[in-house]
Amino acid sequence: MSNTFDLDGWKKAKFGARRHQDFIMEIQVCKNVIAEMGNKFDSHDFILVLLKRYAAVYGQYLINHKNVITANAEISNFLRNHVAELGITQGDDVISRNILGNESKNASWKKN
């Protein structure tokens, strides 16, 4: 049995003909990523784990936005707009390194 997750097969089975962006940030995907995070994390930490575990999802964000900054901003906004479903609370902004190694301001999060 393979440990590889067939994201495309899962998307087709779950969503049929729905467009990719309609489900790109499925709540369960976010919950899976958050489960791997410590009690406190920031958006850059979340995005790094998302990229490692769900590269196809992150890749679609890059295709849709054509740059890392706006793709990452949309992911952070998704977290912000779904705090109740995700069981997280937004904290203060912090400075940390993004996936490109550049320091920038981003949201911090705490598990409820």
Q: Rounded to an integer, what is the distance from CA 78 to the centroid of its chain?
A: 8
Give residue 4's pLDDT band: very low, low, confident or very high (50, 70, 90): low
pTM of the model: 0.76
Sign of the alpha-carbon torsion through 12, 4, 33, 60: negative
User: What distance in Å separates the CA atoms of residue 30 and residue 88, rounded to the nearest whole number?
Assistant: 11
Q: 22 or 35: whose pLDDT is higher?
A: 35
Which of these, 71, 58, 70, 73, lies nearest to 24 by C-alpha position?
58
Instruction: Name the residue ranges covered by the structural domains of the chain.
Output: 19-111
- Look over the chain and give the mean of its residue pLDDT values, rounded to a whole number: 83
User: What distance in Å separates the CA atoms of residue 101 and residue 35, rounded to the nearest whole number?
Assistant: 24
- Fold of domain 19-111: Arc Repressor Mutant, subunit A (1.10.10)
Instruction: Write the pLDDT tens digit of every residue in 62-80.
Output: 888 888 889 999 999 999 9
Q: What is the DSSP letter of 21?
A: G
Tokens of 108: 């911090």
Give residue 5's pLDDT band: very low, low, confident or very high (50, 70, 90): low
Give residue 90's pLDDT band: very low, low, confident or very high (50, 70, 90): very high
**So what's the pLDDT on residue 29?**
92
